[in-house]
Amino acid sequence: MPTAQLGQVPREAHRRCPCGASRLDAAGGWSSEHDSGLSRSVVAAAGLDGIVGRASYDAAMTSETGLTSVEICAGAGGQALGLEQAGFDHALAVEIDPTACDTLRANRPTWKVHEGDVRGVEGKAYDGIDLLAGGVPCPPFSVAGKQLGADDERDLFPEALRLVREARPRAVMLENVKGLTYPRFANYRDQIRGALHEMGYGTHWQLIYSSEYGVPQLRPRFILVGLRPDDMARFEWPAPVGTPPTVGKTLHDLVAANGWTGADNWRDRRANTVAPTIVGGSKKHGGADLGPSRAKASWALMGVDGRGVADPGDIPGESTAPDALFRLTLRMGARVQGFPDSWEFTGRKTAAWRTVGNAFPPPVAFAVGSAIRRALTGESGNEATTAAPVVRNTSAIGR
């Protein structure tokens, strides 16, 4: 299959892409303030069943490092939240989906969020930023799509590279789906790597499973890190944190909230494993459900009806049969993605589920972002083991 050269992306394609931003300059500035009273140190894992409690997660490292970042294709903030906890202040978060932008603004009113086309972003306005990060659209490389790669109008790697060239960040972090690792995309990976090498960056690709960093689902992500040679010499991928929490332990309090007598058995016998990868679908294809047929079958084995998403209060109750299947709520899906319960999602159910299902798990972003921070600052140690994967909060019950 012929491969288009990097940079040959139709201008209009970015207006139809599920993420991006409009033209900005530095004049608007941004606020670097964060939630008051936060601890300035990375916290150790603590909480229910080894899962970090809400206060501990929110107290992870924030802006004490002085490091700044620009993120494209920010979605509902999974990667942005993880990078914030790793010590990066966001100079800019860019996204085209209105529901995702509303979610970002609702959770972080001080962040500079712009809604629009990524092609309009001027990288020179953020010259010298510490980190440029983003989860560029995955459909060009997803096994669920046609895998057109560079020939897909939604491919935004060329725009990411343009921004790197203009902003000259100290570090680059771009993530995508496992499909980008396939041999058919070897030439394209070489083009991306070659472009970064020409700009003076060393590069590492790594396939990471989210379950290795405390997330109760597999969710493989292919992550590219680029750093200047001196910083790259200090970079090490974060070590896995060990056995991930099961879906049953992660969701048990929510599932049992209405007195379902089958909740304990569901946790211990049916949902005693990690989940398959949650998907959010797109505006054109896919509604509020748990993915393709194979994924739905895996969820059914865990006692979950993957054909849809439940309304907030529609969870098993006292009259529900002990062996009944039930549907996940939005909050349950967010927990499986590694979001803290304090993170609110805006919009109607289908649109909100899309932002949840397409998110980059915050604990993975925290782990990789922490590794990048250590490379940039010369810190020693590896606090990947303190990543906070899922947060339990009783006020989330029913959401």
Closest C-alpha among 329, 294, 324, 285 to residue 308: 329
**Catalytic, out of 17, 73, 101, 138:** 138
- 332 torsion bin: left (phi>0), alpha (psi -120 to 50), beta (else): alpha
The CB-side HSE value for 35 (13 A sphere, CA atoms) comes to 17
Whether 138 sits among the annotated catalytic residues: the reply is yes
Q: Which helix (H) or strand (E) holds 47?
A: none
- The DSSP bridge pattern shows strands 202-209 and 171-177 to be unpaired
For the chain, the straight-line distance linking the first and the last C-alpha, in angstroms and rounded, comes to 47
Looking at residue 185, its amino acid is F
Q: Is 334 helix (H, G, I), strand (E, B) or coil?
A: helix
**Phi-psi region at 71: left, alpha or beta (left = phi > 0; alpha = psi -120 to 50):** beta
The residue with tokens 């941004």 is 30
Residues 6+ apart with CB under 8 A from 128: 167, 168, 169, 170
Buried b (16+ CB within 10 A) or exposed e, 15-41: eebbbbbeebeeeeebeeebeeebeee
Task: Answer for the pair 200, 228: CB distance below 8 angstroms, yes or no.
Answer: yes
Across 51-73, b (16+ Cβ under 10 Å) vs e yields: bbbbbbbbbbbbbebebbbbbbb
Q: How many CB atoms lie within 10 A of CB 326?
A: 19
Residue 98's CB: how many other CB atoms inside 10 A? 12
Q: What is the DSSP letter of 191?
A: H
Question: What secondary structure, in 3-state letters, does 198-225 show?
Answer: HCCCEEEEEEEEHHHHCCCECCEEEEEE
Structure tokens at 101: 């932008």
Query: Which residue's structure tokens are 């569901």?
Result: 266
Q: Could you give the C-alpha distances from 156 to 144, 153, 196, 352, in angstroms and in order?
A: 18, 8, 15, 23
Residues with a catalytic annotation lie at 138
